[in-house]
Amino acid sequence: MIASQAPVNPASTPGNTARHFSKLTVSLLAAVFGVVGAHWWYLGRRWAWAATAVPCLLIVLVQFYPVWWDNPPFLLLIIPATAGFIEALVFALKPDEKFDARYNPKSGRQTVTGWGPVLVAIGVTLFGSGILVFGIAMIVMHVYVALGWLDGLVL
């Protein structure tokens, strides 16, 4: 084939330099680092700094308590962690066409996913639900102890 007849990739033309986002990468970032909003930075969302600043502030506030795992700022981290797990599920299970229409409109490529996002969704469901149940149990115990409802309880 002559070089002038070679097919041209629309994403490689000078006028079209849009980045192509991977559904698997977004899902993994949301699952693992969703608590600090890493997937927001990857996608270039406008308020990504806020999604990172709030958990970082909570982590800094944890340092002012004698026990790091039994205090309100640490227990509040369950909220962004759960949001990350939910967003990982949403990204992993979103149809490729809808994902491309929203995040890759000018990339010139189509997302074709296999089992990767499905396995991420299964892992996030198992691991995320365990973390959420553990977090809710810790919050309930913290509130019960703080209110004195467990004083004198002998097991």
Between helix 78-93 and helix 23-33 the angle, nearest 10°, is: 160
| d(C-alpha 84, C-alpha 40), whole Å | 10
Note the pLDDT tens digit of each residue in 56-98: 999 999 999 998 888 999 999 999 999 999 999 999 999 999 9
pLDDT for 134: 95
Residue 133 lies in a domain: yes
Residue 13 lies in a domain: no
Residue 15 lies in a domain: no
Start-to-end CA distance of the chain, whole Å, equals 81
When divided into structural domains, the chain yields a total of 1
Residue 57 lies in a domain: yes
Are 44 and 104 in contact by the 8 Å Cβ rule? The answer is no
Is the pLDDT at 152 greater than 80? The verdict is yes
Residue 106 lies in a domain: no
Residue 8 lies in a domain: no
| The two three-digit tokens of residue 130, written as one number | 């365990």
Residue 132 lies in a domain: yes
pLDDT for 15: 54
Are 87 and 124 in contact by the 8 Å Cβ rule? The answer is no
What is the domain extent for residue 44?
21-100+113-147
Residue 58 lies in a domain: yes
